[in-house]
Chains A and B, each alone.
Chain A
C-alpha cells in the first residue's frame, strides 16, 4: 500500500463511502463532507468503516483513536490512516 499517494487514498475511501453508505442519489459528498455528525454514517456503522480501512491499508487503528470526530470526513479518515501507515 506504500505506493498509494494521499489523493489516491482519498479517492478510494470516498468511493467506498459512497458505495456502502449513501443510499440517496440526491446527496453529493466530497472529501470534507461530515459523515458521522451528519448521520450519513451511523456511529454503530463506524466499525465497518474501521474494518475496511484496516483491511485495505493493512493497519491497526487503536480503539481510542477511532472516534466519531476522527472519522467525520474522508480527509480526516485519510489523515488518521496516514498516521498509522508511517514507519
Chain B
C-alpha cells in the first residue's frame, strides 16, 4: 500500500527542480522540459475526432506547435498578462495554444465552446479579453457580440484552411502554412505570475473569473502523481473539456508536466464509443465524472463484455459526489472501483480524495490530501465542528500552491469566500469517526448539473429577456444521470398561453443565449409564483417541492 505520509509540496518542487524565487512557466514545464529530459519523441497526445480520424503528436511536436503559436501571438502584439481566450472544441490546437499562451506570459481564458452568445459575451467582457482563438464554426457567435467588445482586437481562426474571406479583426492561423519556430524566448514566469482565468458561477451576480498562477503546477503535479496515480508508462484519458478546470489542471498540466501520454476523444458521449476508445488505446488511467459513469451504467453491464478493458489500472471521478452504487458497479464490471476526488475551480487542484491504496468507503469523498487542512464549520456560528457525523460547511486553510489568487476584478466577492482565515467552499459535508468526508450538498442555490455549476440568477435573468416571461424561479431538480438538472417555474405575461410549443421556444432561447447546460430541462408554468409578503420569490419552496422535502417555514408567504 502506498503511503502519502511523506508527500508534501517540497517534494514536487524538488522533482520539478524548482527553487523558491525561480522561474516556473507551466508552458515550458509541459513541453520543453519533457523534451530536455529525453522524452522528445514520446507520444504526448493521441487525438481522435468523432469520425475516428486519429492524429498523434510527440512532446517535441507540442513544443514546436506551442512555440509557433506563442510567437504568432507575440508578433501580433499580445503582451504579458493579456487575456487570450480559447473558444475551441477539443482539437489538438486547443492544447498547443494553451501551452503557447503560457509560454509568452499571457493568461489563458478557456471557455466551453457550447456557450451561447450571452454567456460568451459576459465572460469576454469581464475579462477584457484581447484575443480569442477559435474555429470557423464559432465565428457566427463571435460576430454577433464583437461590436460590444471594443478591447477584443484579434479573433484568430485556427481552421480557415481555404483562406476564406474573414471580417475585420479576424486573422487566419494555419499551423501548416507558417514557419515552425524551433526556439522561443519563454516568459520567465515567477510563482505568482498569472496563468489562467476560469469562469465559475455563483448564486448571485455574474460569473466570476477565477485567477490562477504558474505556481499551481506544484499542486497539480503532485496530486496527479499520487491521487490519479499516473506513472511514466501510463496511457491516460481525462474526459473533461478544457473549458472547465478539470480539463486544464488534470487534462493538460498534470499529465504533461509528468511527461505522460494522454488520449483525447473529441466526440459526444456514447457508451459504445467510450469502451471502444479505452480498448483501442489501452487506456490505463481514466479520470471522468459521475454523470458519465452513471451514463455508462445506464447502457448496461452486457455492453461492457464486448470489450477488452483489462488495460484499466486506476479509475477516478470528479465533478459531483460519486454515489456508492457507481463505485460498487465499477467494482463489479471493471474489477476496480472509481476513486472519488473533490475540489473546485477555485482550489485548482484536488483537495479531498480516495487515493490509491486507501480503503474506499463507497459514497465517501475520502480524506484530505497531505498538506491540505480541511474542517467543517457550523453554518450559523462559523465555529469549528468537532462531532463526528454533524453536518457543516467545508472550509479549507488557504496556502496550497494551486489556490486561486483572486476573482478577476472582484475583490469583494473574493473576500466573501473567507471566514476567520478559512476558505469557504460553499459545500456541506460531515466527517465520520475515521476521518472520511461525506458530501451533503451545496450551501447555496447553485445547481450542479453533470458536474457543471449553473447560477439560477443567470438563468432567471436570461429568462426575463424572453418576451413571454413575466417572472421566473429557477431551481434544481433531481436527475438519475446528471444528479441535478435545471428546472424553471415561469409566470407568463398577459396574452401568452402556457402551451407546449412555448416551453420548447423558451428552452431553445436559453440554450442559445447561455448554454445547453443552463437550458431548463423542464419548464412549469404557474399562474403565480410563491412569494414572501415583501415580494421576494420563495425559491426554497419550489426547490423543496422538486426534491420531496419539507417546505419548512412558510409564515412569510404572501397571501392572496
Contact = CB atoms under 8 A, between A and B. Distances in A.
A55 B137 contact: no
B507 A47 contact: yes
A39 to B, nearest CB: 5
A48 B269 contact: no
A51 B504 CA distance: 7
Interface string A29-50: 0000010111101111101100
B89 A20 contact: no
A20 B507 CA distance: 11
A75 to B, nearest CB: 16
B519 A48 contact: yes
Contact of B507 (A25, A27, A48): A48
B314 interface: no
B273 A37 contact: yes
A55 B298 CA distance: 26
B267 A38 contact: yes
B519 A44 contact: yes
Nearest to B159: A26
A69 to B, nearest CB: 6
A25 to B, nearest CB: 8
B50 A34 contact: yes
Contact of A23 (B137, B273, B517): B137
Given A20-B508, A42-B114, A48-B504, A36 B137 contact: no
A32 to B, nearest CB: 12
Contacts of A51: 500, 503-504, 507
Interface residues of B, number: 32
B225 interface: no
Nearest to B273: A37
A47 B519 contact: yes
B177 interface: no
Interface residues of A, number: 26
Interface in B504-539: 504, 507-508, 511, 515-517, 519, 521
A47 B267 contact: no
A37 B50 contact: yes
A26 B511 contact: no
B74 interface: no
B501 A43 contact: no
A36 B519 contact: no
B270 interface: yes
A8 interface: no
Contact of B137 (A27, A43, A47): A27
Given A43-B268, A68-B268, A23 B500 contact: no
Interface string B10-32: 00000000000000000000000
A23 B141 contact: yes
A24 interface: yes
Contacts of A27: 137
Contacts of A54: 500
Given A20-B508, A34-B50, A55-B504, A44 B270 contact: no
B500 A24 contact: no
A47 B298 CA distance: 17
B266 interface: yes
A39 B501 contact: no
A52 B519 CA distance: 14
B272 interface: yes
Given A44-B450, A45-B516, A36 B511 contact: no
A1 to B, nearest CB: 14
A1 B161 CA distance: 44
A42 B516 contact: yes
A48 B298 CA distance: 21
B405 interface: no
B442 interface: no
B136 interface: yes
A65 to B, nearest CB: 12
Contacts of B266: 39
Contacts of B508: 20, 48
Contact of B267 (A20, A24, A39, A52): A39
Nearest to A55: B500
A41 to B, nearest CB: 8
Contact of A52 (B89, B504, B521): B504
Contacts of B114: 42, 44-45
Nearest to B510: A48
Interface string B383-404: 0000000000000000000000
A48 to B, nearest CB: 5
A48 B50 contact: no
7 contacts: A23-B141, A37-B50, A39-B267, A44-B517, A51-B507, A54-B500, A68-B269
The 5 A-B pairs with the shortest beta carbon distances in the complex, nearest first, are A24-B137, A44-B516, A42-B516, A45-B516, A36-B268
